[in-house]
Structure 1
C-alpha cells in the first residue's frame, strides 16, 4: 500500500485521485477540508 501527497491545481490529476483535501487560510490559520468527488461517492439505494 503506497501513499503519495501531491500539491496540484491540474484538473486531470485531481480527477484521478481517490482523496482530495483542500487547505486555505482563514484569519491566519490553515483550514483543511475534505472533498468527495461526486463521481466517486458510492450511493446506497434502499
Structure 2
C-alpha cells in the first residue's frame, strides 16, 4: 500500500515515514501543498 504524507515539519515526516515503512508501506512525502497535489495525481 502507498501512503502520501503532506507535512512541512521535516522531523515529523521522518518519524511518520520510518514508522510506516517499518510496517511495510511505501511512503511518498510532500513538504508543501502544491507538491502534495502533484503527487496525489499519481495515486
In the superposition, the TM-score normalised over structure 1's length comes to 0.28
Higher strand share: 1
TM-score (norm 2): 0.29
